Structure 1
Amino acid sequence: MGNPRILAIPYPAQGHVIPLMELSHWLVDQGFSITFVNTEFNHKRVRDAFGNKVEGDDSIHLVSIPDGMEPGEDRNHLGKLTDGISNVMTSELRKLLKKINGFEDDKISYVIADVNMGWALDIAAEFEIPGVAFWPASAFLLALLFSTNKLLNDQIIDKYGTPINAERMIELCPNTPAIHPKNFLWISLGDFTTQKITFEYAKRNIKAIENVEWLICNTAFDLEPGALSFVPQILPIGPLSATNQLEPLTVSFWPEDETSLEWLDQQQPGSVIYVAFGSFTVFDPIQFQELALGLELSNRPFLWVVRPDITKGTQCEELYPEGFKTRVGSRGKMVGWAPQRAVLAHPSIACFISHCGWNSTVEGISNGVPFLCWPYFADQFIDETYICEIWKIGLGFKRDEREIISREEIKSKVEQLLNDESFKEEALKLKGLVMNSVNENGSSNTIFNNFIEWMKS
């Protein structure tokens, strides 16, 4: 009998796969072995990005199941993806568990499922396997999902999740971001059909995790005391990225451009603007060009992650303003994808222009980096409020009458952030608090150790 074996299943998006893989590495260090379940589509992307490197770890076994979508369909269409997950992945996971626990000696002892895959815990229960729920985003967002029945009863939203009074800001509990109803998670994901599908799906998953013994979250008490006091069953074990051990097995969907780090080595300490917008953000051509010209106007070195699919329908190469690359020369470096944790830990980074996804947020905090916030959808508006209003470690951008963030606005906010020492001071203070939480006897570390003891008992 080997180490206890855990099946880990993330929601099939980059921002969910990475923190669950980080948790998997933590668990391997504690003597567990992991069967990590990606969709076939994402499994192939990880293999294409990293070749043989994905097979580099005996303790983490990567497997895949279909997501119910056709090969060429758009996985960023969250309504279709949710349908595929609900209709196909459930039966495929059943088959996988049956195969492993029916025919293999090394049986699955636990299932750890992303809350967004809460149905997997119902399936684990059918096999009498104990389940653990993992939430990779902010505790506040999960507290909001837990509050859907109250929002329905108080007539803040209707049965489809649509706000009844769209102008009223909602304050869930003290010391948490006030939230505009248009930024409720299920509303900012797409059209009305997508909203209805994702709202129902979220309610179903929240129901599935109601009775789990462990609901662990990639946050720290010092980051979110308000939300964690409001829903005490959410147990913070993070930030998982704060240990700064750069993992041997990466699960990025794009090949990382390692020349980013060599380029950073040649820059002055605290001089570089790092610009990255996660895996979903899409720009229209005008906004893309204003961003390029704003970085040029800033007159500072910048490292800009330009994903191959960051602009709709047009290749980015054709969209750079005329003469832009010549004018910025070696002061600007554009890459398709960067090893972000190593970049944020680099001494030459001055600030982070970010979409404010939770992984990017906690990675920036874990390195004491101040932010310029450019949220795109989902929980990113909540994270922006945390960054600007509650933690005071960054600034937001204002849009002009075209709904565009202009080059002058970019230049002006970069100067405002970098000329005011208080942002860096607050960021370093917050870094100290989160590092303490994951260090020995810290609040997150203590909960994690109790969790391990429970798993081993």
Structure 2
Amino acid sequence: MAKPHVLIIPYPAQGHVIPIIELGQRLVNHGVKVTIVNTEVTHKQVISNALKKDGFGDLLQSVSIPDGLEQWEDRSDLCKLTNSILQTMPRKLEELIYTINKEDINKVTCIIADDCMGWAIKVAKKLRIKRAAIWPASVTTLASMLSSQKLIDDGIINNNGIPLNQEMIQLSETMPSIKPTNLWWTRFEDLPTSEAFFEVVKEAAEAARLTEWHLCRTSMDLEPGALSLYPQLLPIGPLLASNRLANQTGHFWQEDSTCLAWLDQQPPCSVIYVAFGSFTLFNQTQFEELAIGLELSNRPFLWVVRPGMTKETTAAYPDGYLERVGSRGRIVSWAPQQKVLAHPSVACFVSHCGWNSTLEGVTNGLPFLCWPYFADQFNNENYICDIWNTGLGFRKDETGIITRGEIKGKVEQLLGENTFRAKAMDIKEKVTSSIGEGGSAHKNLCNFIEWIQEIQCPRIDT
């Protein structure tokens, strides 16, 4: 008997791929066949770092379609990559669906598209396939996307998404005010990239009107204002891998699990965990200030220094640094982050405030030191510091550097006041309750899975 068959299409970024594969694994657990459709480069990264336990097999598959760039071209050029995706991938997805339906007894019954791949929803509508969207980041960020036309009509941004003034805006009375320059698509280093991502925003807003379900990785306790503004959005909770002992799938780099044994040797609630995701870049001066700031904290620290993290070819530590910090500092190229954050030795999280990292810290009751880099991370910092009151931000000096003294001082302030930990634990309990059996987010996900299971196979003309 044929099974329901879902194609899930994430945007090719680490913070999108991991949670979207997690959604696929939840569907597989209920007998649904799932095909993850990645770009060719992302597919190779995910498969090369996947282990047998990660679940790829008969019901969970990963396939690829071209992103339109040559193999040698730089995928970190987000403007070029995003424009190429919009021009190339819709046709390639359509071809893939025809191939699957010709060769597989399990015809494609539904497409779930990342909102940053909203064009896939239009492909699904054209082929008369059921469709749903998932937004991997905060609903507050999505709300700004869905409100983009109103922001244009109100004269806040131009038709290319660029702010026209600096007056604070408020999408609804129950949401915090934000600067127009903190709209996520404006937080890139160059204008062409911002304009390219605004095309993604417009595609997402159009696609949202064509979806039958719109899933979001949040809960009512975290973002009540944004969810009230767009009640059609369905919060399904953080959607983390805690149900599989935090064994995540979808990493672009190989995890170094030896750091867990090092954490076992540290006192409870003592370690500063430092990780900045897959995109953050530092210049050499900032890298050295961070290194020395961690040294001056006089606390054990676990620091993720991924390949390509500095704008220079390789990160250069201050003279004698590794010898001075010795076993008190552990440096790895990539960490099993959910397992690290759940470890009792970890005291706080120095983070770029990507939504994945934010949710992982929240669900483990950890206070934050916020160091946002681009896109939605500044809005997430606002929630952590000003709405949830579970962390502190850093201040840059007149040259744009966060100094060693600032780092040392904020570590001492965060860990010296019990209020941050108490607030973090309170939010953890609320979010954990919503994703537990009988919780609101758990019910939403169950209802969605039931809908997937009931879909009849569409007829697609060849």
Shorter-chain TM band: over 0.9
Match of 1:365 in 2: 362
The superposition leaves residues 31-78 of structure 1 with CA deviations (integer Å, 9 ceiling, x where unpaired) of 212111111101111233346666744321111111111222221211
Q: Which residue in the other structure is 1:59 paired with?
A: 59
Residue 240 of structure 1 aligns to a residue whose secondary structure is coil
- Please identify, of 16-25 and 444-453, the stretch whose mean Cα deviation from structure 2 is larger: 444-453
- Equivalents in 2 of 1:33, 1:66: separation in Å? 23
Q: Does 1:98 align with 2:98?
A: yes
Return the alpha-carbon distance in structure 1 between the equivalents of residues 58 and 248 of structure 2: 11
Q: 1 CA distance for matches of 2:19 and 2:394?
A: 28
Matching of residue 340 in structure 1 with residue 337 in structure 2: yes
Matched to 1:85, the amino acid is: I
Provide the C-alpha distance between the structure 2 equivalents of 1:100 and 1:94, rounded to a whole number of angstroms: 10
Provide the TM-score with structure 2 as the length reference: 0.95
2-structure distance, mates of 1:49, 1:420? 40
Instruction: Name the CA distance, whole Å, in 1 between partners of 2:59 and 2:52.
Output: 16
Where does residue 444 of structure 1 map in the other structure?
A: 441
| Aligned amino acid, residue 92 of structure 1 | K
The offset of 1:421, in angstroms, is 0.4
Structure 1 residue 242: Cα displacement: 7.2
Greater CA drift, 178-187 or 145-154? 178-187
Which AA in structure 1 matches 2:161? Answer: G
User: How far is the alpha carbon of 1:443 from its aligned partner?
Assistant: 1.0
Deviations 1:127-173 (A, max 9, x none): 211011001011111111111111111101111211111x2222222
Q: 1:447 to 1:43 in 2, by over 3 A?
A: same
1:72 has 2:69 as partner: no
The CA distance in 2 between the partners of 1:225 and 1:152, in whole Å, is 25
1:425 aligns with 2:422: yes
- What is the count of residue pairs matched by the alignment? 454
2:385 corresponds to 1:388: yes
User: CA 1:401/1:321 → structure 2, altered by over 3 Å: closer, same or farther?
Assistant: same
8 Å Cα contact 2:371/2:393 also seen in 1: yes
Match of 2:224 in 1: 225
State the partner residue of 2:294.
295
Letter of the 1:444 counterpart: A
Give the Cα separation in 2 of the matches to 1:341 and 1:78.
Answer: 27
Please state how far the C-alpha of 1:249 moved relative to its aligned partner: 6.1
- Worse-matched range after superposition: 74-83 or 221-230: 74-83
Looking at structure 1, the residues matched to 151 and 134 of structure 2 have their Cα atoms a distance apart, in angstroms, of 24
Matched to 2:79, the amino acid is G
Unaligned runs of 5+ in 2: 455-462
* Residue type at the aligned position of 2:372: P
Superposed CA offset, 1:209-248 (max 9, x none): 2131100001011100000001111110011127453365
The equivalent of 2:107 in structure 1 is 107
Secondary structure of the equivalent of 1:186?
Answer: helix
Q: 8 Å contact 2:15–2:356 — kept in the other structure?
A: yes
Provide Cα deviations, 1:352-397, integer angstroms capped at 9, x if missing partner. Answer: 0000000000000000011000000000000000000000000000
Q: Any gaps of 5 or more consecutive residues in structure 1? A: none
CA distance in 2, matches of 1:38, 1:245: 23
Please give the alpha-carbon distance, in whole angstroms, between the structure 2 residues aligned to 1:428 and 1:313: 39
> Is this contact kept in 1: 2:145–2:204, CA < 8 A?
no
How many Å apart are 1:86 and its aligned residue?
1.0
Secondary structure at the aligned position of 2:185 is classed as: coil
User: 2:25–2:55: 8 Å Cα contact kept in structure 1?
Assistant: no
Most deviating of 173-182 and 194-203 = 173-182
The answer for the alignment partner of 1:253 in structure 2 is 252
Report the Cα distance in structure 2 between the residues aligned to 1:49 and 1:309, rounded to whole angstroms. 18
SS at match of 2:267: coil
Tell me the residue number matched to 2:347.
Answer: 350
Kindly indicate whether the alpha-carbon contact (under 8 Å) linking 1:175 and 1:390 is maintained by their aligned counterparts in 2. no
Please state how far the C-alpha of 1:301 moved relative to its aligned partner: 0.3
Question: Counterpart of 1:309 in 2: which secondary structure?
Answer: coil
Instruction: Give the 5 Å matches for 1:230-249.
Output: 230-241=229-240, 243-246=242-245
Report the counterpart of residue 171 of structure 2 in structure 1.
Answer: 172
Alpha-carbon distance between aligned partners in 1 of 2:145 and 2:50, rounded to the nearest angstrom: 35
Aligned positions of 1:17-32 closer than 5 A: 17-32=17-32
